[in-house]
Structure 1
Amino acid sequence: MVKIKAVHTTLPEHKRTTTEILPFLDGWLHGQDDRFIRKVKKIFENSAVEERYSFMSPEEVFSLTSFEARNNIYIEQSMKLSTECLTAALTKANWAAQDLDFLITVSCTGIMIPSLDAYLINNLQLRQDVVRLPVTEMGCAAGVAGMIYARNFLKANPGKRAALIAVESPTATFQLEDYSMTNVVSAAIFGDGVACVLLSSCEEDNGPEILDDSMYHFTDSTNLMGFKLTDSGLKMVLDIDVPEVIEANFPAILYPFLEKNGLGIADIDHLIFHPGGKKIIQVVESLFSELGKNINDTKEVLRLYGNMSSATVLYVLERMMDNQPSPGEKGLMLSFGPGFTAQRILLQW
């Protein structure tokens, strides 16, 4: 049995409401067509994101900061916030740092070598034989994927403990001189955040059990989502057809996975979905509302924090854990990311 012992989230210091961001758009869009400016502001206002946090101040985001300078902020804040988040998660679980056997870090919004896990080993004085795995190129799907990798390690190694840390700063990828709809939409929906999940195959540890996991890979869809590495940094790739592609594949993503476990959607008590954006939420909600299911926690995380890439679904998981579901209740985790891919986990409390 592999169980989730604890989840903890940590937010960056810079916080702005969408209303507070609008004046910065005036400076960024100065000289653009009035109709275009109104359209951009409407996208922000209708994004379903009311607040967001970031590693960088708005003044830094909306300035011609070099790729090197932005990446240095990403590195500095990643080390600081991930250390705080992992420390708090260990305290919540009543574990010592030396109890960890496996350390996974996931991120796609900055570049650092050595990877973040190496710094965490030093900062928290983890054991010298801890197994480490940095996952850097799975985008929004990496939070659930990292949990799958942790489960595989723990299944093969009973009596061990693992930590997954997701660190993301999509605001560091904002392109000041790019007025494409992709750059506008990504700026409107994304925010920054850090999350940690502690997992265990120790008999004495309690928490919801991971009953099953699975990955689903869309064919011929590498163009849908990702980043292009340019002279000005990581440039977002986000195809307008993503919600429609997800909707078309949803039955194949969901039902065979549940059926393999002898379940239907009626047996799932909690939906723990990655809030990719307003349109994706609308697609998922339309599919489940008629079945009496809701994704209220997913919607609330998007409203309060925006899409924080791989960390976001872990914020939804933390809310679910804090609500203390009853024994026997089941949850379904689902996230999407570049590739194009869907990652699935079945939980039981």
Structure 2
Amino acid sequence: MSVNIKTVAKVLPAHSRKTADILPFLDVWLAGQDDRFIRKVRKIFENAGVDKRYSIMSPEEVFSNLSFQERNDIYIREGIKLSADCLSLALEKANWKADQLDYLITVSCTGIMIPSLDAYLINKLELRQDIVRLPVTEMGCAAGISGILYATNFLKAHPGKRAAVIAYESPTATFQLNDFSMANVVSAAIFGDGVACALLSSAPEDLGPEIIAQEMYHFYDAEQMMGFKLSNTGLQMVLDVAVPETIEAQFPEIIHPFLAKQGLSIKDIEHLIFHPGGKKIVQMVEGLFAGLGKNIAETKEVLRLYGNMSSATVLYVLERYLDEIKPSSGEYGLMLSFGPGFSAQRILLKW
């Protein structure tokens, strides 16, 4: 009994700006700061590898003194709308009806909702009253793959069932106006907002790339490297400068043993579906694989077009493979993302 990814859909928020159009807002935000610091921040934005990003708020709102409550209210309002639209689009692409879903997983870490997002989607789309739901709220950028892992395990235990994984993130809603730390600056430079939905199935009639293997990998004693600190003004970014080096040091242990368990090596993997954490991580991963004749072109393109949308981003990369690249039958793909904990999440696909 196999579990396949039927389709992936994405929906973008209403507001968008090219990076060049964000720079004037930086001048207002950084007014009164040291000139060298202002020049450094501008360079970080200009060299982040992000040409454009989308947001649930206008730039005027992002760079304003909105309270935590006001930002979170926008996060909730827009998240319900965008996620409902994205799930509807995914169901349409798969030619499924809403009442055919058996399992609903929602993924988000950039705001607070109780009831969680999945409860609202059940009502808006009139999903079945016995649908099983799981909100995943604190796994950060890794959680897009985490949601697929949880859905896969459910579907393996329940043949013939169908699941939806919806990743909604709004890092711009976590922007801290009075925080001039490098963590907040880098976060603002690389992150954008977005939502994506993956549909999975263990029904034999639902074709798509098969999930061959899936695992998590946990770094010891690295909790301080990435995450959010809950402050009076909202979710304050925690981002250690050593993240790329830490990943690089353990990269062989993350990749090679996982593939070896399936009798494969990296040379057998045609498609690398990686989460673009940021330009430095992308360059590091690209350097590791360049000598093997592999590339992460789609990962770089998603970062350029949309920025890092936390958990949703790797699903944007996967969507490009499903809808544009369209790998040939028998080819393998490796999905990989990193997140707070510190952890790595891996999935092996076969078309």
TM-score > 0.5 by shorter chain: yes
Match of 1:340 in 2: 342
CA–CA separation in structure 1 for the residues paired with 2:183 and 2:93: 39
* CA-CA distance at 1:340 after TM superposition: 0.2
Paired letter, 2:208: G
Q: Which residue of 1 aligns with 2:71?
A: 70
Q: 1:330 aligns to what?
A: 332
How many angstroms does 1:184 deviate by?
0.4
Quote the residue 1:206 is aligned against. Answer: 207
- How far 1:253 sits from its partner (Å)? 0.3
- How much has 1:115 moved relative to structure 2? 0.1
> AA paired with 1:58?
P
Partner SS for 2:138 = coil
2:119 equivalent in structure 1: 118
Q: Among all aligned residue pairs of Structure 1 and Structure 2, give the percentage whose two residues are the same amino acid.
A: 73
- The one-letter amino acid paired with 1:75 is I
Matched ranges for 1:97-246 at <5 A: 97-246=98-247
Letter in 2 for 1:330: Y
Counterpart-to-counterpart distance in 2, 1:39 and 1:253: 34
Structure 1, gaps ≥5 residues long:
none
Structure 1: distance between partners of 2:239 and 2:306: 20
How far off is 1:35 after superposition?
0.8
Residues 192-341 of structure 1: pairs in structure 2 closer than 5 A = 192-322=193-323, 323-341=325-343
- In 1, Cα distance between equivalents of 2:341 and 2:160: 34
Question: Any idea what SS the aligned residue of 1:137 has?
Answer: coil
How far apart, CA to CA, are the structure 1 residues paired with 2:65 and 2:132? Answer: 39
- SS of alignment partner, residue 235 of structure 2: strand
Q: Tell me the equivalent position of 1:9.
A: 10
2:347 counterpart SS class: strand
Partner Cα distance (1:237, 1:37) in 2: 21
The separation in 2 between residues aligned to 1:140 and 1:196, in whole angstroms, is 15
Q: How far apart are residue 85 of structure 1 and its match?
A: 0.2
Aligned residue for 1:343, secondary structure, equals: strand
Q: CA deviation at 1:324?
A: 1.1
Task: Report the secondary structure of 2:223's partner residue.
Answer: coil
Structure 1 runs of 4+ aligned residues shifted over 4 Å read: none
Give the secondary-structure state (helix, strand or coil) at the position aligned to 1:197. Answer: strand
Name the Cα RMSD after superposition: 0.3
Scaled by the length of structure 2, the TM-score of the pair is 0.99
Deviation at 1:105, TM superposition (A): 0.1
DSSP-derived class of the 2:26 partner: helix
Structure 1 residue matching 2:303: 3-state secondary structure: helix
**What is the rounded CA distance, in whole Å, between the counterparts of 1:236 and 1:192 in structure 2?**
15
1:119 CA displacement? 0.3
Question: How far apart, in 1, do the equivalents of 2:12 and 2:26 lie?
Answer: 23
Match of 1:20 in 2: 21
1:293, 1:204 → 2: CA distance? 33
Partner secondary structure for residue 186 of structure 1: helix
TM-score normalised over the length of structure 1: 1.00
Q: Which amino acid aligns with 2:173?
A: A
Separation in 2 of the partners of 1:277 and 1:252? Answer: 21
Distance 2:252 2:284 in 1: 13
AA matched with 1:295 = I
Shift, 1:171, TM fit: 0.5
Q: Which AA in structure 1 matches 2:14?
A: E
Q: Given residue 171 of structure 2, which amino acid in structure 1 is its aligned partner?
A: P
Structure 2: how far apart are the matches of 1:222 and 1:92? 39
CA distance in 2, matches of 1:241, 1:324: 36
- How much does 1:188 deviate? 0.2
1:112, 1:259 → 2: CA distance? 40
Aligned twin of 2:56? 55
Please name the residue that 1:84 is paired with. 85
Q: How far apart, in 2, do the equivalents of 1:204 and 1:60 lie?
A: 47
Structure 1 residue 88: Cα displacement: 0.3
